[in-house]
Structure 1
Amino acid sequence: MAYIDSNLINNESLLYRGKVTLWALLPWIVWGVIFAVVTAGAGLLLIPLGYMIIRSNEAGITDKRVIAKTGLIKRDTIEIGLSKVSSLQVKQSILGRILGYGSLTVCDVGTSRAPIKYIKNPMEFRRRFFELQEKNGMN
């Protein structure tokens, strides 16, 4: 079960789930192949490891908060109430723009910043968040 689904509180529902792009796996594949040549195939183990690490990233918007989790073994989470989010920044490299992925940075009214990497279509995530925030009169 996904972290977000297992941590919903009473009467909370998930409205939008940000998906992680598989393009983030590309560097793991490249390095895995390079190391496979050098290590007689052992470098290919980087590919499933990279897949598990990338798939361990989650981001979602519920009717009460923004939730994000990164990390496979070490876990970093951020959970900020919708009314406490002051901005949601999108960062995309040129390759990210071409391939449709980027990073989101969630900022609360204090100084906390939470980067969420490799989100597919981050502008859609941002749009959905601000639509929900406006619908609930929280902007």
Structure 2
Amino acid sequence: MFSERRDLLSGEKVVYIARLSLWPHFFELLLGVLLTPLVLGLFILARIAINYKSTTYIVTSRRFIASNGFFTRKTESIAHTKAFGLEITQTLLGRIFNYGTITLRAPQGGDGAFMGINISSPNTFDSYYSEATTRFQKKS
């Protein structure tokens, strides 16, 4: 569900798209598969699938975009010039299975940060975000 392409600014390019990791939902997925004959499992699996397909974190050449929600879509973005720090938090299992939480610090917003929880390959996200931010600052 990458509908953000139509929301890109002129001259803006997608640099990286981060998806959620399914590893943190392993036991929930297993439970869903086991309960599928009772129909309850289908609801568990559908909830996980909807959450996975409807959540994206995008690094563009000019900004960071976080989108989530299926019935009610919420999209937040912050320009590279407004962000002042990216923090990655990984548990032991997160380091083993390569997922974690990213927090992008910004002076705007309710708590001053955008948070992406259970993102696949958070260090790859950090690399692309740092590269895009550096390129944007050199152009300015």
> Where does 1:58-77 land on structure 2 (aligned, <5 Å)?
58-77=56-75
CA distance in 1, matches of 2:107, 2:65: 16
CA distance in 1, matches of 2:6, 2:21: 22
In structure 2, give the amino acid aligned to 1:126.
Answer: D
> Where does 1:121-132 land on structure 2 (aligned, <5 Å)?
121-132=121-132
Counterpart in the other structure of 1:81:
79
Counterpart in the other structure of 1:91:
89
CA distance in 2, matches of 1:17, 1:33: 28
Counterpart in the other structure of 1:42:
39
Which residue, 87, 100, 103 being the options, matches 1:102? 100
TM-score, normalised on structure 2?
0.83
Q: Percent identity?
A: 24
Runs of 4+ in 1 over 4 A off after TM superposition: none
TM-score, normalised on structure 1?
0.83
Q: Is the 8 A contact 2:62 2:136 kept in 1?
A: no
Secondary structure, aligned partner of 2:103: strand
Secondary structure, aligned partner of 1:44: helix
For structure 2, list consecutive stretches of 5 or more residues without a partner in the other structure.
Answer: none
Aligned length: 135
In structure 2, give the amino acid aligned to 1:82.
Answer: H
Q: Structure 1's 101 and 47: CA in aligned 2 closer, same or farther, altered over 3 A?
A: same
CA-atom RMSD in angstroms: 2.1
Counterpart in the other structure of 1:9:
9
Secondary structure, aligned partner of 1:2: coil
For structure 1, list consecutive stretches of 5 or more residues without a partner in the other structure.
Answer: none
CA distance in 2, matches of 1:6, 1:86: 27
